[in-house]
Structure 1
């Protein structure tokens, strides 16, 4: 069992849900930008976490692409 990795995952979930809840209070373009940034950051962290596991790297790239689309095009 890798406790620091589990603790980082738990803190990441708390931060992600907190940012998602706070972004609902922002005005129209900024809430999508914040949510898109969170998805993109999740994708980058998944890609770096993968360490050679191809399906996790692909998932990370999909999350980054969705985050960019959400931030700039899907309002």
Structure 2
């Protein structure tokens, strides 16, 4: 079994990009800050749902991310 060495590298790059986007969204004025951060959580949940491909526990976590993202964007301030 050959290890996929590109996967940890891409994960690290994605994590760095996520932290940078979160920091940039934190500079926005309200209500745009909450909408941007909520949208990022919802998109993360949607991408996790697509990535899961039938793994129920990952899809459950993805659903929680989507719900939190929508609540953060629309209700929570």
TM-score by length of structure 2 reads 0.86
Offset of 1:74 from its aligned partner?
0.4
Where do residues 52-63 of structure 1 align in structure 2 (5 Å cutoff)? 52-63=54-65
TM-score (structure 1 length as normaliser):
0.88
Output aligned runs, 1:1-75, within 5 Å: 1-75=3-77
Change (3 A) 1:5 1:49: farther
In structure 2, stretches of 5+ residues that fail to align are none
RMSD over equivalenced CA pairs, Å: 1.3
Question: Secondary structure of the residue that 2:31 maps to in structure 1?
Answer: helix
Q: Which one has the bigger helix percentage?
A: 1
Equivalent pairs counted in the alignment come to 75
Secondary structure of the equivalent of 1:25?
A: coil
1:17-63 Cα offsets, whole Å, 9 max, x none, are: 11110111110101111110110111011111111110000100110
